[in-house]
Chains A and B, each alone.
Chain A
Amino acid sequence: MSAETADIKIPAAAIDRSYLHDGTSLKSWLLTTDHKRIAILYFASITAFFFLGGAAAALVRLNLVTPQGLLGSPETYNRLFTLHGVVMVWFFLVPAVPVTLGNFIIPLMIGARDLAFPRLNLFSWYLFMLGGAITLWALFIGGVDTGWTFYTPLSTAYSKGHVALAAVGIFVAGFSSIATGLNFIITIHRLRAPGLTWYRLPVFIWSMYSLSVLLVLATPVLAITLLLMLLERLFHIGVFDPAVGGDPLLFQHLFWFYSHPAVYMMILPGFGVVSEIIPAFARRPIFGYKFLVWASVTIAVLSFFVWGHHMFVAGTSVYSAVLFSILSYLVAVPSAIKVFNWLGTLHKGYIHFDAPMLYALGFIGLFTIGGVTGLWVAALAADVHLTQTYFVVAHFHYIMVGGMVSAYFGGLHYWWPKITGRMYPEAWARIAALVMFIGFNLTFFPQFILGYLGMPRRYATYAPEFQVLNVLSSAGSTILAAAYLLPLAYLIWSLLHGKRAPQNPWRATGLEWQTPSPPPTVNFIATPHVTQGPYAYAPPAEEPPPREAHE
């Protein structure tokens, strides 16, 4: 995107000072309304949640090294996998890309000074932290043993864990999601720079927009569901428990009506990040821009009509299962389109293999494996055999971790110079990307086979014939854990010792690269004017030299 200098003048002090130097007191961070600083607050919290959820996963894998369970207590095991699921889904996967990268990058990408409602943005962070604190409190004073799905009547009448407290925490954090979604929608509608029409928006913005719609429409359903569950658990009002006149399947319908769109809340931002990285490192305009954009929107819409595919063996009618099966195949089509669009972008490109690109390529491979195994569980008769086994565990980890977490790390490295003003150490970053890919496959590929053989998920103990594959998976998880610790170490190192980042280290298009790294508090010295679409990459010979700051 090319920008023309407008006439608005900004005081010289604000130009010199990056957002990181605009106040250094604790108060200047905790009471900031700058979207970039709020993104940093989110980065810190999200990282803590990621490693907490990861530690629980490590203990889960440790337990499964022996058939009797190394931890010795099924109760401990159940609480650990519940902690892992609750923390990873609601406090990492759903918010991760939007509240960190999205929060930081959206205003920069559309040439705005901030989000539409800066104070609401800060309030969202406090809500998120409050919800997180309540949930962590529940998880640490004794834990929850229902799994992250809270199926009734186990959760309302039989569980001895702190179900109510955890649900309150998730309920509160949900409002943070809704506020963030509203903020993004209005920002994207109202604050685009002059000339930045809808079809000139980067795919990342379209993804954030689709995601925000999902956040705003689906999260209230989760709130309602949790509230009804609380009413039944605390006051024995019969909603879900047949013993008091309720219907246990009603809970599952409501829960998955939120939680299936939630899957797309997690993966749509990943699509967005990868759609930025691939053109930048292949030096090619993205292939089939409009198809990609409308694929995101189609996915967002269709995602509301496939929840029933979580319930093929739950006791719903055969006809509804048939309907949900065909709808699930339909929602897979736009996802397949995207994979071919990314491949098409690589075609005839000039491909550079910097760390963000390695993560993006890893994303394509792992997401495709996750996607094709989705075809297995969408086929009704096959799902009867595979559902509730490790096959499903492997399938959704390929999408969530192989896909979404790869994209998160790709985006983190891609925008790291912009966010911090420092370059990360490239060699270490490439090693980490490679080790992550290997560790991930070693951990989760054996689980496909375990699932086919019939090993049920959420088992603290298992039959001895499953041990070899479980040991393989646990061994892989140690490699994966090491790979996740690497970026934690070298990214912190780079904050202090990394090379100073230029304005546009990747020679990327996109307005966020046309302001200094790190950006000033006001984002742009002069409001940019946009005159062409995104991804105006040209072959090296024809490319103009990298643009300098404030040309």
Chain B
Amino acid sequence: MTLLPSASANAPEVDRLLWALLAISLAVLALVFALLLRYITRYRANSPINRGVESKKSWIFESVWTGATLLIFLGLFVWGANLYVRMFNPPQDALRIYVVAKQWMWKVEHPSGQREINALHIPLNRAIQLIMTSEDVIHDFSVPAFRIKHDVLPGRYETLGFTATRAGTYPLYCTQFCGVNHSMMTGEVVALPPAQFAAWLARNPVADDLVGEGRTLYMRYGCSGCHARGAEVPTVRAPPLEGLYGRAVPLNDGVTVMADDRYLHDSIVSPGAQIVAGYQDLMPSYAGQISEEDLLKLVSYVKSLSAKSP
């Protein structure tokens, strides 16, 4: 297992689990094949060997190997599940990068505004959290060198966390069949030492960062007309967006939801689905009118309103 680089923090852990699985598999196979070969040579029909008397009580054997099998399986379950749960709990200070998938292309938006297509540059030894969505069908973001993989769904934000530990360029694959050119939906992940990553960011200057572009869109789509800020007097009463992100929002139907990326996204494309308590269903849907990339920028901007407020 040396042909595949082990380039993320959890890759060695996954490999240890795979080695353990290999060892257990080989042990089981050795046992089964040894017994099989021994029995079919020793007890072939024309072998004169004395078979003795048949042992009648089979339930002892049955119970022992059922119990042993169960114990080994439970051990593997705990190991695999524990690692999986940790892999899906990225640290809070992660660098959040947005990924939009479409037939048959990966589009990446860095928080500082840099854009890439079919490539993702990341700094080494820094926790990364990808926030991913799709414009059409289901795709899957897979980097074998990092031992990570997650489906990218339309109409949802899925997240994927990892930390690159070895500099290099690693293949990126779409691993959920997504139509004609599925096998061409590949790219590369470039893990750079922090200084080089900063240099890369500087080499790719942008007009504005994600939040800034979001602010521009916020004005263009007239969001501020209703979601007024501060002392402005709105024409229509809509919930204020300052301090919204990360807060629990009570809804009209008595349910409380967490205002995360997905909530903000869904509130733009299907506002009627979750009405904030005390407000009316007045906002028109922007589904199909704002691209997923622009939605990301708007969401980033709305999030930034919470970072600044106390």
A residues adjacent to B (C-beta < 8 A): 74-75, 78, 145-147, 149, 151, 153-154, 157-159, 241-243, 245, 248-249, 282-284, 287-288, 291, 312-315, 318, 321-322, 325-326, 329-330, 332-333, 336-337, 339-341, 343-344, 346-353, 361, 364-365, 368-369, 372-373, 375-376, 378-385, 387-389, 452-454, 456-463, 465, 539-540
Contacts and interface: CB of A to CB of B under 8 A. Distances in A.
B174 interface: yes
Interface string B137-158: 1101010110111110111101
Contacts of B174: 456
B62 A288 contact: yes
B153 A384 contact: no
Nearest 6 A-B pairs (CB), nearest first? Answer: A454-B144, A242-B155, A379-B80, A380-B84, A381-B83, A459-B183
Contacts of B140: 313, 388
B236 interface: no
B62 A291 contact: yes
Interface string B40-59: 10011100000110100011
A454 B69 CA distance: 29
A313 B85 contact: no
Contacts of B51: 348-350, 539
Contact of B58 (A344, A365, A460, A465): A344
A381 B1 contact: no
Given A149-B177, A315-B150, A349-B51, 7 more contacts: A288-B58, A291-B62, A312-B84, A322-B81, A333-B70, A349-B43, A350-B45
A290 B162 CA distance: 49
B267 interface: no
Contacts of A387: 149, 175
Given A151-B176, A459-B182, A333 B66 contact: yes
Nearest to B28: A372
Contacts of A454: 4, 142, 144-145, 171, 173
Interface residues of B, number: 80
Contacts, number: 253
Main secondary structure of the interface of A (DSSP, over half): helix
B221 interface: no
A382 B33 contact: no
Contacts of B233: none
A341 to B, nearest CB: 8
Given A337-B66, A384-B87, A452-B1, A154 B178 contact: yes
B117 interface: no
B88 A318 contact: yes
A325 B76 CA distance: 10
Contacts of A361: 36, 40
Q: Which of A330, A332, A368, A453 has the most CB of B within 10 A?
A: A368
Given A145-B179, A458-B177, A283 B45 contact: yes
A340 B65 contact: yes
Contacts of A462: 183
B90 to A, nearest CB: 12
Nearest to A241: B154
A313 B150 contact: yes
Nearest to A311: B151
A306 to B, nearest CB: 13
17 contacts: A151-B138, A288-B62, A291-B58, A315-B153, A325-B77, A326-B81, A332-B69, A337-B65, A348-B43, A349-B39, A349-B51, A350-B44, A375-B24, A381-B80, A383-B80, A388-B176, A453-B3
Interface stretch (B11-19, B191-199, B222-230): B11-19
A315 B151 contact: yes
B94 interface: no
Given A315-B151, A329-B76, A384-B148, A346 B87 contact: no
B181 A384 contact: no
B171 A375 contact: no
Given A145-B180, A344-B61, A249 B153 contact: yes
Contacts of A284: 54
Nearest to B27: A372
Contacts of A157: 136-137
Nearest to B146: A385
B35 interface: yes
B21 A333 contact: no
B149 to A, nearest CB: 5
A346 B21 contact: no
Contacts of B39: 343, 346-347, 349, 351
A302 to B, nearest CB: 13
A321 B84 CA distance: 9
Contacts of A341: 62
A368 B29 contact: yes
Given A313-B151, A318-B85, A325-B81, A376 B52 contact: no
